[in-house]
Each structure stands twice: as C-alpha cells, then as structure tokens.
Amino acid sequence: MENSVNQNTAVHAPSDSGVPQHARDFSVKDRVIIITGGGQGIGREYARQFAAAGAVAVIADISIATANSVLKEIESAGGRAMAVKVDVGDKKSVDDMAAAVLEKYGRIDVLINNAAIFATLKKCTFDEIPLSDWELVMRVNMTGSFLCACAVAPAMRQAKWGRIINISSAAVPKGAVNYLHYVTSKSAVIGMTNSLARELGSHGITVNCIRPGAVATEVDRTVNPKLERRVQLLSEQCLPNGQVPTDMVGVVMFLSTPAAAFITGQTIACDGGFTHSS
C-alpha cells in the first residue's frame, strides 16, 4: 500500500512531466508587437518595456513626432523599434500600418489596441454630448480596435499564432458619470473581446482585454481630478498607492507570451483592487 501511494504521488521533473515547453515560456524576445497609441502615456511605457525585454516594438501613433520620440528613446537604450503614423479610425491608414510592419519584419505577433480618446474629453451629462464627439469616440475607441484586429488577423492566421490585447477601463463597471461616450465605447471593447476570442481561437490566436484603473501619466487631461477626488479614488483601492504605467506592463506582457496560450476571452482588471471581478 505504501509503495502504491508513493508511486501515485511521485513528483516528476518538468522534463518528464508531460508539460509542453511553451507552458514555461514567458519570453517576448524577437516578437513583433504593435502598440497603437504608443507615442505617449501607457502606450509609450508598453513600447519601452517590450523593447527592453527583447521584442520589436512598433510604435503606432497618430502623431509621428511623438512616435519618433519614443523610437529614439528605445534605440538609445539598445532596443529595436519602428515608428509608424496611423489613424486607427481610418481603414486605409490601419491597413497601411499593418502592411508596413509586414514588409519590414514579415510577421505580426501581438497587437495591443491601446489607442483611445479620453484625456481631451470634457465632462458633461449624456444629453449634452455633441453627436460629433460621440461619433469620434466610437470611431477611435471601438471601431479603431476592430479595424486593427482585422488588419493583423490574416498574418496571425497564417502563422497559427497571435495575441490581441484590447484595453477597456475601470470606468465601465463603475459606471463613471458624465463620460457616457467613453464608458460606452469601452464597454463595447469587452464584448468585442469575447466574440473575437471565439472566432480566432481555432487559429491559435488569443484575444483578451485589460481593464486599468486611474493611471497617472505625463499626458494632460482636459478635466484633471482635484486632489480630493484623487484621494477618494485611492481610498477605494485595495492597494494604497496610485497607479502608474509600469503597473500595466506585467499583465500585458504575460498575455503576449506563449505561456498564456490557454487564456482567452477574458477581461482582467489591473487597477489595484479598485474594482472586483467574480
């Protein structure tokens, strides 16, 4: 009986446990990573950190000047990167971006749909939102993610490998007031993630979504929260420190690796416990 128990509970080394090698592969080295909105804020930090980890960071931004600035940062640190101008709400611009990346590198491994309109939005009640503002937010935040996914999917299907990472917001479960256009657009991104994951799963492509909290960046906002509001937001978190762009890097980088191959169709909160998922 004792021998039987020992056999059944034996500990095997990874080399003979039947665990595939990719399950322990947390590397992004040599992966080609497109980061939309990569010229500033959180996107800039994604680009810098992926390049530092050995990936090729494609800094895709509507401002080629800011994209080139991040490119210089990365190259001066010994990393590899490419800057490309893109308007994510314009199909031709997005298709041209993907074509330029494929022409230079021959592959697209990861898409991070980071580009969005928020910092320039003015707070107002839902019935005071100009239709033009509503349509612009939807075009960039929602349609932009759709167009970028469409542009990279053929290369990923051909490679039978890919990672698409969408970005939502803690404003969705919180139902942030006076930002209905933004909250609605970021709600749609979650639904898009769920459906895309089912459509692309058989091709070895995972699709996930990250839901950040109130991340402090160098980007000025049209309406900056007063100190009292910042203190209130911080008090609602489980972790008692403000969120900065580097707090987002770990989860996004993990989802970009082979080790995350069995995670798809998920929306993951990275907000210091500001919201809870169940």
Which pLDDT score is estimated for 226? 64
182 is catalytic: yes
Of 11 and 231, the structure prediction assigns the larger pLDDT to: 231
Q: For the residues 37-48, what does the mean pLDDT come to?
A: 96
Which pLDDT score is estimated for 7? 44
Per-residue pLDDT tens digits for 99-157: 999 999 999 999 999 999 988 888 999 999 999 999 999 999 999 999 999 999 999 99
**46, 105, 179, 182: which one is catalytic?**
182
Q: What class is the 23-270 domain?
A: alpha beta
For the whole prediction, is pTM greater than 0.85? yes
Supply 82's token pair. 């490419």
Which pLDDT score is estimated for 255? 98
pLDDT category of residue 20 using cuts at 50, 70 and 90: confident
Paired strand residues for 186? none
Which pLDDT score is estimated for 8? 44
Please say whether the beta carbons of 256 and 33 come within 8 A: yes
In order, the DSSP letters of 114-159 are -----TTPPP--GGGS-HHHHHHHIIIIIIHHHHHHHHHHHHHHHH
Pairing label, strands 80-85, 110-113 = unpaired
Per-residue pLDDT tens digits for 175-209: 999 999 999 999 999 999 999 999 999 999 999 99
The beta strands (E) that lie in 187-271 are given as 205-212, 267-270
What percent of the chain lies above the pLDDT cut of 90? 71
Which pLDDT score is estimated for 272? 86
Place of tokens 């399950």: 23
Place of tokens 């919201």: 275
